[in-house]
Chain A
Amino acid sequence: MKIKDIQEEIIDEFAFFDDWMQRYEHMISLGKSLPLIDQANKKEEYLIKGCQSKVWVYPEFKDGKVLFTADSDAIITKGIVALLLRVFSNQTPEDILKADTDFIDEIGLKEHLSPTRANGLVSMIKQLKMYALAYQSQLN
């Protein structure tokens, strides 16, 4: 699936809920489906700076696509990471780099996060794009 289509799917999914409690419940269940990082890769170098809870993201490059696995010690954060990975994992570096992140505003996620969590979200997206950029420069 293309990034844009996945984003549309997420927007539709979140529109289905009446209130923020239900959205959080959904995010928590998404967190439980996160493609988990191998324990051996839970190292300092894969920690994302700027998050108040711990977030590890591990990138791999297979058949021209970037695959991410991740984990966090906070479950709502895990849900946020799961949403991002659903959009950005298993995509080409080029698609990841040119993707916008409007869907985050459209589902109202950012305004419902505390400022520290919102900063963490920005750091996560930045880090995913950095990895994509690194793989793309390997290709060129």
Chain B
Amino acid sequence: MNTDSKSIAFDVEKIRKDFPILSRKVNGYPLVYLDNAATSQKPQVVIDALVDYYSNYNANIHRGVHSLSQEATDAYEQAREKIRSHFNIKKSREVIFTSGTTHAINIVASGFRSILQKGDELIVSALEHHSNIVPWQMLCEETGAVLKVLPMNDEGELELVEYINLLSNKTKLVFVNHISNALGTINPIEEIIEKAHKVGAAVLIDGAQACAHIKPDLQALNADFYTCSAHKMCGPTGVGILYGKEAWLVKLPPYQGGGEMIKEVTFEKTTYAELPHKFEAGTPNIADGIAFGAAIDYLNGIGFDAIANHENQLLAYATEKLLEIEGLKIYGTSAQKTSVISFNIEGIHPYDIGTIVDKLGIAVRTGHHCAQPIMDFYKIPGTVRASFAFYNTFHEIDVLVEAIKKAKQMLT
């Protein structure tokens, strides 16, 4: 395990003090927040960034000549620059602010309407969130393109041999998540991207689940599109990014028409603004964009090596402790996974477990995690999912394990 100097300096109790919500009680018990894969909690610096914007320099950006507008524009563009630098993206014009991953995927899906032809093929992985399935199904219905599924095995890993069989010169686009939200599997996206490029297909990587745990180098990765949502990485809700290689972003038509995205408008013809504004119609989510920048600074201040190191230890500890409970089965057992544990106890419905542990102050997710095809694969209605962040503790895992034992005793 990684034991660099950063992880030695890692002080989880000190970090927890950065998050006001972590000191509250739920149903009379101290909150144990283990639903980080759904959304992360927010440190005070992110909350402060929002309050500071609205208190001190709220103004519409990119248009006014007045000072407030310039301050707001500068802060917003600085946030874009922070994001560019964080992901090692070549040009800031390749960073499109969106409302989140779903919006980002829809921009690309919509853009491909004018590119795809009948009989073209798209490949979707069996591990996808509904948001990385449905927009492509809609696109296929409209264009006559065919959706092929890259299957997974019992461990929750993608079958790369099958992938190679599916690829052909008909393949135009491949979309895979970097990390599965339902199971935590880290997918071999480097290989997936390289193989797709060999047949001339573009690749979109849904990074929503990954970016809280790892820091992708997008130039090295060489994906054509990459998406993420700020709210899963300590940032505010309602903002995220679409990264696209410049050549693709130039080629794709705009997604929405409106202000901000135009160069000139007459009733005869409108010319579109340059990147990134071409895809940013209307007044953007200024406050949340700026606070997203603050979240990135915060995470980098802790360090992604330290984050991964602590989370991997939590994952190993929780896996060991949970498996001591008789009848408990974990779904998603790849050696390559992040701190997500999806499980069921034999004979007990996941909703029942979720309901009881909630009464004990513990937040876990129950259900199909917006990934019904995965649940169908395992022939289960859903799972209980505990997902850990760097601010979780070993003690909280002990609390979870005791609560699950109690729930099991009540429910059987």
Q: Which residues of A are at the interface with B, using a C-beta cutoff of 8 A?
A: 20-21, 24-25, 28, 52-54, 73-77, 114, 117
Chain B 342-384 interface mask (CB, 8 Å, partner A; 1/0): 0000001101101110110000000100000000000001000
CA distance A53 to B351 in the complex (A): 7
The answer to the question of B411 belonging to the interface, with a C-beta cut-off of 8 Å to chain A, is yes
Which residues on A sit within 8 Å (CB–CB) of B381?
53-54, 73
Q: How far is the CA of A25 from the CA of B359 in the complex (A)?
A: 12
Closest Cβ neighbor of A25 among chain B residues: B410
A76 touches B359 (CB 8 A): no
Residue B5 at the A interface, CB < 8 A? no
Task: Sample 15 A-B pairs with CB under 8 A, ordered by A number.
Answer: A20-B27, A20-B359, A24-B410, A25-B410, A28-B411, A52-B367, A54-B381, A73-B381, A74-B349, A75-B411, A76-B351, A76-B352, A77-B349, A114-B358, A117-B355
B349's nearest neighbour on chain A, judged by CB, is: A74
Complex contacts, B355 vs chain A, CB 8 Å:
24, 76, 114, 117
CA distance A25 to B410 in the complex (A): 7
A54-B381, A73-B381, A74-B351 known; 15 other A-B pairs, CB under 8 Å?
A20-B27, A20-B359, A24-B356, A53-B349, A53-B381, A74-B349, A74-B352, A75-B348, A75-B411, A76-B352, A76-B355, A76-B356, A77-B351, A77-B352, A114-B355
**Is B351 touching A28 in the complex (CB atoms < 8 A)?**
no
Distance, CA A104 to CA B231, complexed state (A):
36
Q: Which of B22-39 contact A (CB under 8 A)?
A: 27
Inter-chain CA distance A8–B166, complex, in Å, is: 64
Query: Which residues of chain B come closer than 8 Å to A74, judged between CB atoms?
Result: 349, 351-352
Q: How large is the interface on B (under 10, 10 to 19, 20 to 34, 35 or more residues)?
A: 10 to 19
Q: Distance in Å from the Cβ of B157 to the closest Cβ of chain A?
A: 28
Q: Which residues of B contact A54 (CB under 8 A)?
A: 381
> Closest CB-CB distance, B345 to chain A, in whole Å?
12
B358 contacts which chain A residues (CB < 8 A)? 114
A114 CA to B39 CA, complexed, in Å: 18
A75 with B359, Cβ < 8 A, contacts A25-B410, A28-B410, A52-B367 known: no
The residues of B that contact A20 with a CB separation of less than 8 Å are: 27, 359
Task: Provide the residues of chain A in CB contact with B359, threshold 8 Å.
Answer: 20-21, 24
B 377-409 to A, binary, CB cutoff 8 A, 1 in contact else 0: 000010000000000000000000000000000
Main secondary structure of the interface of A (DSSP, over half): helix
Hey, which chain A residues are within 8 Å of B351, CB to CB?
A: 52-53, 74, 76-77, 117
How far apart are the CA atoms of A53 and B350 in the complex, in Å? 9
Chain B residues with CB below 8 A from A77, complex form: 349, 351-352
Q: Once bound together, how far apart are the Cα atoms of A52 and B372, in whole Å?
A: 13
CB neighbours of A53 from chain B (8 A): 349, 351, 381
B79 nearest CB across to chain A (Å): 33
Distance between Cα atoms of A74 and B382 in the complex (Å): 12
Q: Which residue of A lies closest to B347 (CB)?
A: A75
CB distance from A84 to the nearest CB of B (A): 17
Closest to B382 in A: A52
CA distance A36 to B381 in the complex (A): 21
Within the complex, the shortest CB–CB distance from B34 to chain A, in Å, comes to: 16
CB distance from B280 to the nearest CB of A (A): 33
Q: How far is the CA of A114 from the CA of B348 in the complex (A)?
A: 18
Q: Measured between C-beta atoms, what is the minimum distance from A126 to chain B in Å?
A: 20
Closest chain A CB from B404 CB (angstroms): 15
Expressed in whole angstroms, the minimum distance between the Cβ of B269 and any Cβ of chain A is 48
Q: Identify the 6 closest CB pairs spanning chains A and B, nearest first.
A: A74-B349, A74-B351, A76-B352, A74-B352, A53-B351, A75-B352
Considering the chains assembled together, what is the distance between the CA atoms of A117 and B358 in angstroms?
14
Central interface residue in A20, A53, A114, A117, by most chain B CB within 10 Å: A53
Q: A20 to B359, alpha carbons, bound, how many Å? A: 8
Residues on A with C-beta less than 8 A from B356 are: 24, 76
Taken together as a complex, chains A and B put the C-alpha atoms of A21 and B359 apart, in Å, by: 7
A24: B residues at CB distance < 8 A = 355-356, 359, 410
What is the bound-complex CA distance between A28 and B412, given in angstroms?
Answer: 9
Complex-state Cα separation, A43 to B297, whole angstroms: 54
Assembled-state Cα–Cα distance A138/B352 (Å): 38
- Chain A residues with Cβ under 8 A from B411's Cβ? 28, 75-76
- Which residues on A sit within 8 Å (CB–CB) of B352? 74-77
Chain B residues in 8 Å Cβ range of A52: 351, 367
Expressed in whole angstroms, the minimum distance between the Cβ of B410 and any Cβ of chain A is: 6
A23 to chain B, nearest CB (A): 10
* Measured CA separation A54–B367 after assembly (Å): 12
Chain B nearest CB from A29 CB (Å) reads 10
Contacts of A21 in B (CB 8 A): 359
Which residues of chain A have C-beta atoms less than 8 A from B27's C-beta?
A: 20
A69 CA to B352 CA in the complex, in Å? 21
Chain A residues with Cβ under 8 A from B410's Cβ? 24-25, 28
Give Cα A74–Cα B355 distance, bound, in whole angstroms: 11
